[in-house]
């Protein structure tokens, strides 16, 4: 494994990457694909945040816009109304919690950071808002750079890769360099499972995940309860936890350092088992 970075500086709070990290998903939306992840009231948001932190979440990822296939991009003002009060409430109740804002808009990132967010998670890699890279550089926060072709509305029509792993690696080489030139120090790459990839391409990407280590930056994997799991198994997002845990273990074996999950406790168990296997030798 080439991976070398050991910490993320989240507005003065350091996250240790020596152990794979768990990012718990809290969707402050009415329409995210997994209904149990939708939390629209502050009481529910705070209860979920507390439960996730107690179960071992290292980061809480707050999103105000669904990015399921076919979803529309909502205006920044609407997203701000959803995420900023949620982030402020979480930081007030749990001041040591590290919060990520899941957004494609630079202004949402700025206002979320002012409310206490310490990471910016952008599914669009700055393609939807051209100001995003500059905003992240100004904020000085870690940035999750995700690969997606097009937008959630049309991404599943753009599956014509020459070689999905190499094409995505080439994309990251270019974009990480752009971010470095702007002064962004902590870059996390997310290959974008389910975003503009067929089921077969998602598994090709999973099997080739090791190749992304050449960039020497942490890799985040978000596969929790996605269609690459439940469609393959012939079930539903609600029934896809077991499959999710299997894919999480495979992702860790292929170099993932962060898991973005709906179910924190099972993901923490996967990390514990993976750690035990890493430490075990056969004599």
Residue 4's pLDDT is what?
Answer: 60
Q: Domain segments of the chain: what residues? A: 20-275
- What is d(CA 36, CA 70) in angstroms, rounded to the nearest whole number? 20
The C-alpha atoms of residue 85 and residue 88 are separated, in whole angstroms, by 5
92-106, 145-159, 220-234: which range is least confident on average?
A: 145-159
Residues 16-36 have a mean pLDDT of 85
Whether pLDDT at 100 is above 50: yes
Examine the pLDDT at 124 and tell me if it is beyond 80.
yes
* CA 89 – CA 281 distance, rounded (Å): 46
More confident call, 47 vs 73: 47
Q: Provide the pLDDT for residue 37.
A: 65
Distances (CA, A) of 130 to 38, 126, 127, 212: 28, 6, 6, 25
Task: Write down the mean pLDDT value for the chain.
Answer: 92
Q: How many CA atoms lie within 13 A of 64 on its CB side?
A: 24
Angle at 120 between CA 241 and CA 42, to 5 degrees: 65
Return the percentage of the chain with pLDDT > 70, whole number: 92
Residue 224 · residue 193 · CB < 8 Å: no
Tell me how far apart the 2 most distant CA atoms of the chain are, in Å.
60
CA neighbor of 58 nearest in space, from 6, 112, 3, 19: 19
- Quick one: which of 211, 209, 177 has its CA closest to 193? 209
pLDDT confidence band for 1 (50 / 70 / 90): very low
Question: Which residue blocks in the chain are alpha helix, DSSP H?
Answer: 42-55, 76-93, 106-115, 132-139, 164-182, 199-207, 227-233, 241-253, 264-279
**Residue length, the chain?**
283
Q: Which CATH class is domain 20-275?
A: alpha beta
Q: Is the pLDDT reported for residue 283 higher than 60?
A: yes
Residue 38 confidence (pLDDT): 65
Residue 257: pLDDT over 90: yes
What's residue 121's pLDDT? Answer: 98
Report, as residue numbers or ranges, the catalytic residues. Answer: 226, 260
CA distance 256 to 112: 26
Asked whether residue 130 carries a pLDDT value surpassing 90, the answer given is yes
Contacts of 94 (CB under 8 A, 6+ apart): 49, 50, 53
pLDDT digits (tens, 9 = 90+) for 194-217: 998 999 999 999 999 999 999 999
């Amino acid at each position: 494994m080439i991976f070398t970075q050991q910490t993320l500086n989240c507005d003065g709070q350091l996250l240790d990457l020596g152990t794979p990290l768990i990012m718990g998903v809290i969707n402050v939306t009415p329409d995210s694909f997994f209904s149990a992840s939708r939390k629209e009231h502050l009481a529910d948001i705070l209860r979920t945040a507390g439960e996730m932190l107690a179960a071992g979440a290292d980061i809480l990822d707050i999103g105000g816009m669904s990015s399921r296939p076919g979803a529309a991009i909502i205006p920044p003002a609407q997203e701000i109304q959803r995420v900023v009060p949620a982030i402020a409430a979480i930081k007030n109740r749990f001041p040591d919690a590290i919060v990520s804002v899941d957004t494609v808009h630079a202004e949402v990132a700025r206002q979320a950071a002012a409310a206490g967010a310490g990471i910016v998670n952008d599914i669009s890699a700055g393609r939807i808002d051209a100001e995003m890279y500059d905003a992240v550089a100004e904020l000085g926060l870690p940035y999750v750079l995700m690969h997606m072709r097009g937008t959630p509305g049309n991404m599943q029509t753009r599956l014509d890769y020459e070689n999905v792993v190499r094409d995505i690696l080439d994309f990251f080489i270019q974009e990480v360099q752009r971010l470095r030139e702007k002064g962004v120090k902590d870059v996390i790459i997310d290959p974008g499972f389910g975003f503009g990839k067929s089921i077969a391409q998602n598994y090709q990407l999973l099997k080739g995940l090791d190749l992304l280590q050449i960039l020497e930056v942490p890799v985040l994997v978000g596969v929790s309860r996605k269609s690459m799991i439940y469609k393959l198994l012939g079930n539903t997002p609600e029934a896809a936890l077991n499959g999710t845990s299997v894919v999480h273990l495979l992702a860790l074996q292929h170099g993932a350092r962060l898991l973005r999950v709906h179910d924190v406790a099972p993901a923490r168990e996967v990390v514990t088992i993976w750690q035990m296997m890493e430490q075990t030798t056969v004599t």
